Structure 1
């Protein structure tokens, strides 16, 4: 009689991609994301706003609020993803658990920065997340229920790669427009991403989850879909703050 226990990650322990193939695919994925970044700057309203000299106060604060909400909401789905990952690969689960441990409470870093520009914790809690954030959270749940954890991990690779590539440039600009003393949480978040090599950590989990060419094709598709969902958020943020002139009086550097 065969053992009916199967979802414990003891099958296919050898990665589909050897070290060289993994490095080659990662370079290919990074090139895809670089192209998506170019498309982002070309098509998303006010895509480089936080890199400018005069940062709109409402835009800046609302972005911090939504970032904190996204960490809070997505960490629930990402914690559920650990269960699905462990069923497939204990090695990937170990990497993912460590990554989540390092990221789990980073919402507090953004909430701390909000307090420095006059937004209290109570005010933060009174703001409901955007529809785009709710849709992204729902997409994660769909993936875990119907497609598996690969798409959830793919999102983290996209975000971590972009953060390490672009966040230092944004922080340099924010030091001038908002004040270095007011962005300590964001600096700490970026420091963790870069110094703990979060893109490399997430890629290590992806490598163990990729089981064939179909997964590679799915990974590329997930990155495109995640970019569209992220664009929806920044379009919503733009409409809520910069569009229409309703916040014209706030279109100046955030008070320090």
Structure 2
């Protein structure tokens, strides 16, 4: 008999990484991300601006706008990623679907915070996202077409790990600079990330997608590439809002 069906995740479902191996790799990846965070604060202009006492209103406004657009645009690519994940591992697809279900509408949390500082939904919708935001979305599409879903899921682990580690500090600062009632959406977003253990959830999906040592090497490379694109965005944000004229010319 001939069964031509494939790409449905059946066969040997034993993860390449044992439980101990997974924990060990996660610790290694977390250390790599910690190093990237240090590099971020050392090389990205005004990387800690939102943690300061005197937050520039245009910087803050545009940061919220781009965050909402990033969620809106990436959820399309991440939904497409679900189908590709399911072809490799139904278990990973189930985890990823649950994670996406929790994150899918979080753009509305940031849009709500925009309205609290006087930016209407109409103004948000009329603001085209930065090219750098589009490039991140385009990179996801490239990955799904030519390399697979591992890099897409890797992005979520990067941002969830960093958010859980650093977001509470930023939000505490914004309570003083922007006002606690004005950041309710961001607080709710952070609450979900922390209390639903989104880093752990995304890592559980990653474990099923890692099939060999080459995937581990690719995972590390993806983290580096995602940070590079995000840095391009934050540099653009700095140049458009905080930079002095001589800095913009440079």
Give the structure-2-normalised TM-score: 0.97
Gaps of 5+ in 2: none
Instruction: Quote the Cα distance in structure 2 between the aligned partners of 1:240 and 1:161.
Output: 28
- How far 1:4 sits from its partner (Å)? 1.3
Is residue 95 of structure 2 the alignment partner of residue 95 of structure 1? yes
Instruction: Quote the Cα distance in structure 2 between the aligned partners of 1:138 and 1:12.
Output: 33
Instruction: Quote the Cα distance in structure 2 between the aligned partners of 1:186 and 1:206.
Output: 26
Aligned counterpart, 1:68: 68
**Deviation per CA, 1:187-234, whole angstroms, max 9, x where unpaired?**
000000000000000000000000000000000000000000000000
Instruction: Quote the Cα distance in structure 2 between the aligned partners of 1:45 and 1:23.
Output: 34
Give the structure-1-normalised TM-score: 0.95
Report how many residues are paired. Answer: 246
1:47-126, aligned counterparts within 5 Å? 47-126=47-126
Gaps of 5+ in 1: 247-256
- How far 1:3 sits from its partner (Å)? 1.6
Aligned counterpart, 1:173: 173
Question: For the aligned residues, what is the CA RMSD?
Answer: 1.0
- How far 1:176 sits from its partner (Å)? 0.4
2:144 is paired with a residue whose SS is helix
Which of structure 1's runs of 4+ aligned residues deviate more than 6 A?
none
1:131-150, aligned counterparts within 5 Å? 131-150=131-150
Aligned counterpart, 1:32: 32
Instruction: Quote the Cα distance in structure 1 between the aligned partners of 2:158 and 2:3.
Output: 38
